[in-house]
Amino acid sequence: MSAKPWWSGFHVKITYPENLHPWIFPYLDSAGSIRLHGTFGALIGNVTASMNMTYEAITADDGQYGHYLPNGSFTGMLKMVHSGRADLATGPFTPYIQLFEAMHLTPHCGATKIQILSGMKHAFITRSTPYTRAFDTVTWMAIWASFTILTALIIIEEWLVLKRRLDFVMITDNLFVMMQTWLQEATKKRCWRLRFAFRRFNYGYTQMIGVVWLLTTFVIMQFFTCDLKANSVVKSPTLRLNNIHDLIQYRHKYK
């Protein structure tokens, strides 16, 4: 078995503010020890327990929160840590440059780890996502390239195999038939161009190409349908959480 890590069984002295609900606040456990609760207090308890550590919660001797003074000294929780009477101060603190010079500071978890507390930027979205943004640039290029390739294959067969005369109307007509099929216009009932659209796939190897194209068309249209449903959902009004107080107020609704 591997040796236990050095922090296993380590005892930490943590200084905390006396009243900072709901960020952190003390409570007595069954053994009469002061435990920390709240958004950050519960995090301390979970981290220390998972690392097999214990902690002791204490308050600042001078009753201050914790600031840097012009004479170079600290007050409150910062003073407790700087003097060695505490190992950790919960904060948060104003990021004075002197704090970085005298102590080890962690990033403000309220800004880097709990973005959910800021809620949505807008209560609900009023603009739908355009279909041109439903796929990335590479996908759109592949779609238009498939139009060109399929049209070119049909033209080659008509020109080389069937020995038919090529003209501008016939070439562009093949391309528009592909687009029509992709948009499912050619598969609608009572479509007057139904027979015209599918006759492009009724000769030679283009039958297999037509089957692949129709299957691909079906898959792509399913993506568009899902995107349309998603736009309908986000346009519905939603509850906005602006701060931690809103999160606590609706905690039973968003478990």
Q: Please say if the pLDDT value at position 50 is more than 80.
A: yes
Q: Please say if the pLDDT value at position 234 is more than 60.
A: no
Q: Which of 47, 7, 55, 9 is nearest to 29 (CA)?
A: 55
Q: Which of 130, 137, 149 is nearest to 216 (CA)?
A: 149
> What confidence score (pLDDT) does residue 240 get?
62
> How is 168-237 classified by DSSP, letter by letter?
HHHHHHHHHHHHHHHTTSTTSTT-TTHHHHHGGGSSTTHHHHHHHHHHHHHHHHHHHHHHHHHHHHHTS-
What is the reported pTM? 0.42
Give SS3 for 151: helix
Cα–chain center distance at 123: 17
Domains of the chain (ranges plus CATH)? 11-112 (3.40.190.10), 131-234 (no CATH)
Question: Mean pLDDT throughout 168-186?
Answer: 66
> What confidence score (pLDDT) does residue 86 get?
92
H/E stretch holding 47 reads helix 39-50
Q: What is the CA radius of gyration of the chain?
A: 34
Q: Spell out where 16-123 has E strands.
A: 25-28, 34-37, 54-58, 88-89
Give SS3 for 68: strand
Give SS3 for 88: strand
52's tokens:
């097999």
CA dist 27 and 226 (Å) reads 49
In this predicted model, what pLDDT tens digit does every residue of 103-162 receive, in sequence order?
Answer: 887 766 555 444 444 444 554 555 555 666 666 677 778 777 877 777 777 777 777 777
Sign for the pseudo-dihedral over CA of 125, 129, 133, 134: positive
> What confidence score (pLDDT) does residue 115 get?
45
Which has more confidence, 251 or 12?
12
Distances (CA, A) of 184 to 124, 137, 219: 32, 22, 12
> What confidence score (pLDDT) does residue 195 get?
43
With bands split at pLDDT 50, 70 and 90, how would you rate the model's confidence at 15? very high
In this predicted model, what pLDDT tens digit does every residue of 59-101 receive, in sequence order?
Answer: 999 889 988 888 988 999 999 999 989 998 887 888 778 888 8
Question: Mean pLDDT throughout 4-18?
Answer: 83
Beta-carbon-side half-sphere exposure of residue 206 (alpha carbons within 13 Å): 22
